[in-house]
Amino acid sequence: MSLRCLIGLFGPVLAFGQEFVIVGDWDVRVGGHTVRVKPPVNIDVAGERYASIPMFNPKVGGWVRGMRIKGVRAQETTSPGLLDPESFHLRAGPGGNAPVFIRGVDYEIDLEWGTFGRLTDSRIGPEQEVFASYRHAQLRLDAVVQNASGQIVIREGEPQAAAPAVPGVNAGERHWGNIYLSGFIAKLAPEHLFPVLEAAYPESPRVANATVDRLVKRLRSGQPLRILAWGDSVTDGGYLPETDRWQTQFVTRLRRQFPRARIELLTQAWGGRNTASYLAEPPGSVHHYRETVLGVKPDLIVSEFVNDARLEPAQVEERYTRLLADFKEIGAEWIILTPHYVRPDWMGLTREREIDEDPRPYVAGLRQFAAKHDVGLADASLRYGRLWRQGVPYNTLMVNAINHPNGRGMRLFADALMALFRD
């Protein structure tokens, strides 16, 4: 039976030809040795103060319906599923004898996302402090490492509400895989195992593309190249250091590869919006398409729009053909970035393993469009789809637990772009 079949059946998972299999509630057998994983520690919080809370708004996404509970906060949002729904209580004071507020009368809470707020006839005033008690889980990634003495050990990661990091693996050590403790779990299950099946993304030979060929010629000759990074909040990247943004990483590496290049980088990005949003903006708007995209006269436009992901292939063809005509009119080249993977349920996924193929029709539409029109395509989606093979649950790269990649996630975009420029 093949490796793929073994994984698909959730039986023993092989890593470099050795077993990586659960043999007890918290025991894993790796390379002929059994190691014990420390169970996750759930956190009890008592009398946590909130100076005031907003009105509860059931008409928006769960992560913005009210005050974010501190223990489950992520970047801009909360991490879903980390609040014990039976544990939440809200009081007028920090002690156990303080008056209790009643859910459905004084306040409402989204128990999945951990956000709460006042109701219309609430006894809680607009500026009144409240005190919350609750229990919450965390996320943790543990590394399975064979150290320099040959011993296989579990290296415990730092628990986080979102984006837990893999513990460091030292030179001379072998990284067998990772264990993903994803919130409230009573015991290990196969979906928590992420053996390292490949050390890195398997790069393919560069495919000739007229767009990229023209850009390479320009970079080598030292002609000026104005690059516009155009996209949504992932391109804005204001939640990360400048050096972590995908476009900064890309241009830094381009300059290293092409020392004679004279590159100017511009960014036009609008969080929470898509290409249709730009096209609909009136003149004078800070995001008016003709003024802020076409009007800056870029030589190369690199677009990233995960917020276009609801488009079907026919819609991609229609809208992107219009964009391509506009870009050709101003003499600009175009490279399209396929989007990263976002939280699994938003993609129709039920797991973070065996997900090489992106299920979104939009991604298929982008690939078809780029091939048909000889537009550059940097396929970051392919790289996200293989992260599980490298021992990484992809959503652990999302600092907001939804769709905002961390620096490593941004690097995958830069990797996909640089793959177009390999010699």
> In Å, what is the CA distance from 260 to each residue of 265, 420, 422?
16, 18, 16
Residue 250 lies in a domain: yes
Query: How high is the pLDDT of residue 19?
Result: 81
From 19, 4, 22, select the one nearest 190 (Cα to Cα).
22
146 and 127 belong to one structural domain: no
370 near 416, Cβ under 8 Å?
no
Residue 202 lies in a domain: no
pLDDT tens-place string over residues 257-310: 999 999 999 999 999 999 999 999 999 999 999 999 999 999 999 999 999 999
22 and 56 belong to one structural domain: no
352 and 259 belong to one structural domain: yes
387 and 347 belong to one structural domain: yes
pLDDT tens-place string over residues 76-131: 999 999 999 999 999 999 998 999 999 999 999 999 999 999 999 999 999 999 99
Q: State the DSSP H helix or E strand holding residue 216, giving kind and residue range, or none if neither.
A: helix 210-221
Q: Residue 171 phi/psi, 5° resolution?
A: -60, 135
Residue 291 lies in a domain: yes
Burial track 87-123 (b if 16+ CB lie within 10 A, e otherwise): ebebbbeeeeeeeebeeeebbbbbbebbbbbbbeebe
Q: Which two tokens stand for residue 83?
A: 């609040």
18 and 68 belong to one structural domain: no
Q: What is the mean pLDDT of residues 154-182?
A: 95
Query: How high is the pLDDT of residue 205?
Result: 87
227 and 322 belong to one structural domain: yes
250 and 372 belong to one structural domain: yes
pLDDT bin (cut points 50, 70, 90) of residue 18 is low
26 and 55 belong to one structural domain: no
For residue 9, pLDDT over 50 is answered with: no
For residue 11, pLDDT over 80 is answered with: no
54 and 29 belong to one structural domain: no
Residue 366 lies in a domain: yes
Residue 201 lies in a domain: no
270 and 150 belong to one structural domain: no
DSSP designation for 123: S
Residue where a domain stops, chosen among 136, 158, 173: 136
pLDDT tens-place string over residues 306-322: 999 999 999 999 999 99
Residue 401 lies in a domain: yes
For residue 368, pLDDT over 60 is answered with: yes
Number of domains composing the chain: 3
In sequence order, what E strands does 217-375 have?
A: 224-231, 262-269, 300-304, 333-337
pLDDT tens-place string over residues 185-222: 999 999 999 999 999 999 988 888 999 999 999 999 99
Kindly report the average pLDDT of the chain as a whole number: 94
CATH number at residue 383: 3.40.50.1110
274 and 389 belong to one structural domain: yes
175 and 314 belong to one structural domain: no
Range of the domain at 19: 3-40+139-195
Q: What is the mean pLDDT of residues 28-49?
A: 96
Residue 204 lies in a domain: no
Q: Which two tokens stand for residue 221?
A: 């000759």
CA distance 334 to 374: 10
Residue 407 lies in a domain: yes
Residue with tokens 């099946």: 197
